[in-house]
A and B are shown apart, each in its own frame.
Chain A
Amino acid sequence: MSVDATFSLEIPATASHVGTARSFTSALLRQLAAPDEIVQDAKLAVSEACSDAVVALQGRGSVRLRATALDGRLILEIDAPGGLRHSGLDPSAPGLSGPGRLELVRSLFADADLAGGPGGSVPRLRFSIALD
């Protein structure tokens, strides 16, 4: 596979499709010959980010995962296209709250960061993985 390429996946904002985002991430990283530990960490980070977006969107709209291979790194971005507004987290949803999920991702990928969504929209999570 050539580097410096962009791959994207858009899934319905439902819990049943979070696994699809993990499968996409896993397949892409394995094709880029990433070590298994990195693949597992990236799956966890993507699952947390997509789950947070799904809970926030409460089943409306979609979640987008974009992966860009650039200069020996894979940059992963998860957001909600269309600038959907954050519905507020569902307190009955299992798992960590939004900030808790981000902290978990940060513990795996130190450069993980939230880019504020405009006008209260679901923010974009971005982190990168060294491929070398």
Chain B
Amino acid sequence: MELRLDSRQVDPWTVLDVAGEVDLFTAPALRERIVGLIGEGHLQLLVNLGEVGFMDSSGLGVLVAGLKRAREAGGEMALVCREGPTYKVLAITGLDRVFPIYDSVDDAVGS
């Protein structure tokens, strides 16, 4: 199973593009990348889940920890996620009300 993580700057956001499946096996890599970006001072972090085919609560745990870390550092973490299985897991755990969620990177930039 492969998880692809690529970051880019789309002001005011640092966008982390996530592609693949996020589960118990791959979540540590996502956590490491988020922690690294925040540690490098990328405090406006937009995690793009648009190419995530599957995510379970292992991924949610990483996202929540990242949000907490970003806010403690004075920043913000938002998500890009459309309707679908990934959005559903956010919704059934109530996290759709915790994260700012956008339909696209363009929407987040324009907000």
Chain B interfacial residues counted at CB < 8 A: 21
Whether A44 contacts B24 by the Cβ 8 Å rule is: no
Q: Smallest CB–CB gap between B15 and chain A, Å?
A: 22
Whether A18 contacts B27 by the Cβ 8 Å rule is: no
Contact of B57 among A15, A54, A96 (CB under 8 A): A96
Which residues of A, 30-68, contact B by the 8 Å Cβ criterion?
Answer: 40, 43-44, 47-48, 51, 54-55
Q: A15-B24, A95-B27, A95-B58 are in contact. List 11 more A-B contacts (CB 8 A).
A: A19-B25, A22-B21, A43-B54, A43-B85, A47-B23, A54-B24, A94-B58, A94-B62, A95-B24, A96-B57, A104-B92
Whether A19 contacts B57 by the Cβ 8 Å rule is: no
Q: Does A2 contact B (CB under 8 A)?
A: no
Residues of B within 8 A of A (CB): 1, 21, 23-25, 27-28, 31, 54, 56-62, 85, 88-89, 92-93
- For A19, the chain B residues whose CB sits under 8 A away are 1, 21, 23, 25
Q: Could you say which interface size class chain A belongs to?
A: 20 to 34
